[in-house]
Amino acid sequence: MPADIPSLYELRIAGHFEPRWSVWFDGLTLTAEPDGTTLLRGELADQAALHGVLQRIRDAGLSILSITLVQP
């Protein structure tokens, strides 16, 4: 997959977050799921953008439950 093509990702994290946190997560859509998790979904420009989101999740002390590449 070429590095310059955005890819659609879904990241599931433990806990619920307000939609206003979307800006902090590079504009990903935040959806509170009934199971107590939050689904972050959206396009990321490249691997560097993905790693930036992962660093924010780590820095906030959040638990990542899954990361899925939905579409390259």
27: how many CB neighbours lie within 10 A of its CB?
A: 10
**7 phi and psi, to 5 degrees?**
-125, 145
pLDDT at 49: 92
pLDDT at 23: 83
What's this model's pTM, rounded to 2 decimal places? 0.85
- Any residues with CB less than 8 A from the CB of 22 and at least 6 apart, and which? 28, 29, 30
Residue 60 in tokens? 């906030």
Q: pLDDT (tens digit, 0 to 9) for every residue of the chain, 72 residues total?
A: 555 688 999 999 999 987 788 888 888 999 999 999 999 999 999 999 999 999 999 998 999 999 999 986
pLDDT at 26: 81
User: What CATH topology corresponds to 7-71?
Assistant: Alpha-Beta Plaits (3.30.70)
User: What are the domain boundaries of the chain?
Assistant: 7-71
